[in-house]
Amino acid sequence: MPYPARARIDLTAIRDNLARVREVVGDRAVLAVVKADAYGHGRGPVSAAALERADYLGVAQVGEALRLRGEVGPGPRILAWIYAPGYDLGEALAADVDLSVGAFWAIEAIRRATSLTGVQARVHLKVDTGMARGGFDPADLPAAAARLRELEAEGRVAVIGLWSHLARADEPDCGQTERQIAVFEEARAAASRAGLTPQLCHLAASGGAFWHPAARYDMVRPGIAMYGLSPNPDVATAQAMGLRPAMTLSADLIVDRDVPENTGISYGHTDVTAAPARLGVVPLGYADGIPRAASNRGPLVVGGMRTRIRGRVCMDQFVAEIPRACKAGDTAYLFGGGDLPTADDWAEAAQTIGYEIVSRLGARVPRSYHG
């Protein structure tokens, strides 16, 4: 039975957004970030489209990388950067997945996996340049690089990359990115002194790629930009960046009703009509990823009219004001491109970021692919 809501994914937009990234960064390699089910867009179809414009694919967790290898087949390069002590990395080596290494225990885990499988590991050495998250402390990098050089000499590993991640690339004037670039340069020198020659130094994701030319190095890692959203709409909107949204979310109204003045709407009656109104019920709720924090504020378009949620978002549905001529069965558009509200508009309504709006879209909302 057809579901009364849907997410339409424009694969041409994915390709065009990556082409725009390439236009900005020149001859640098491009790693398309498809973690978290391609930010909610669907990892398999998006990855296939992305590979028409990208050199690498990237996911957070090794389990994601293994599933991705099954979807794209042998050949395309895949980088994964999250795994825990005790994880069987042999599967990743057998699947030809590049692994990030940012802790001494990870180096030894990779060494053990190479011993068990006989497969040389392709690794990207990660340094923490200012996130206080993953990666070697700069003070520990010389020892880590020396140990990796030993394993490289033994034929156990090939150090393909040196990388880090920017904390405030979406704030171009704050100075933090320049400080992190300086630390990254020191890391590059330390790796070189240890005898490592990584072919891919990479630091910039979407914000770094667009707004910090010095951070582009050998490869950039666009995530949110590939999906047509801005890393920070207060700096530049997606449209101003030459991007267009890949996802359009819509649903069919399941109820229409006229209500009088002083009608309380949804749980808690946080909205009460000040005049007679026509209301429609949209079959999407917080179980589908619609943020409850957007209650009374989330924008949508129904019957050509821009309107908003009225009352609290429920688990499976919410109420919105609709034009007089609209009825059950008509389509409500929550976000997309063109004249529709954007995921960033929803992020503003929910006091969050566009990344969260698209990536949290629930599995029961079917995706369709076009282009």
Of the candidates 3, 35, 227, 369, the residue annotated as catalytic is: 35
CA distance 342 to 363: 20
Maximum CA extent, the chain: 79
Dihedral in degrees, nearest 10, Cα atoms 170, 174, 180, 185 = 110
Find the helix or strand (DSSP H, E) in which 150 lies: helix 141-153
Which of 3, 267, 286, 355 is catalytic? The answer is 267
Q: 296 near 311, Cβ under 8 Å? A: yes
Sheet containing 331-335, strands listed edge to edge, beginning at the edge strand earlier in sequence: 305-308, 299-302, 331-335, 247-252, 5-10, 367-370
Q: Which two tokens stand for residue 204?
A: 């910039």
Backbone angles phi, psi at 44, to 5 degrees: -65, -60
Helix (H, G, I), strand (E, B) or coil at 51: coil
Task: Name the nearest CA neighbour of 103 among 134, 63, 146.
Answer: 134
- How far, in Å, CA of 194 to CA of 45, rounded? 41
| Overall residue count recorded for the chain in this entry | 371
Q: Which two tokens stand for residue 107?
A: 């180096």
Answer yes or no: are the C-beta atoms of 134 and 100 closer than 8 Å. yes
Q: Is 267 an annotated catalytic residue?
A: yes
**Spatial contact of 211 and 181, defined as CB atoms under 8 Å apart:** no
DSSP reduced 3-state for 54: coil
Bridging pattern class, strands 305-308 and 367-370:
unpaired
282 in Cβ contact with 317 (< 8 Å): yes
Strands 277-282 and 255-259, bridge-based pairing: antiparallel
Nearest CA-CA partner of 31 in 173, 164, 215, 218: 218
Half-sphere exposure of 155 (CA within 13 A, CB side): 4
Look at the block and give the residue holding tokens 């240890």.
Answer: 194
Whether 126 is a known active-site residue: answer no
Q: Give the active site residues.
A: 35, 267
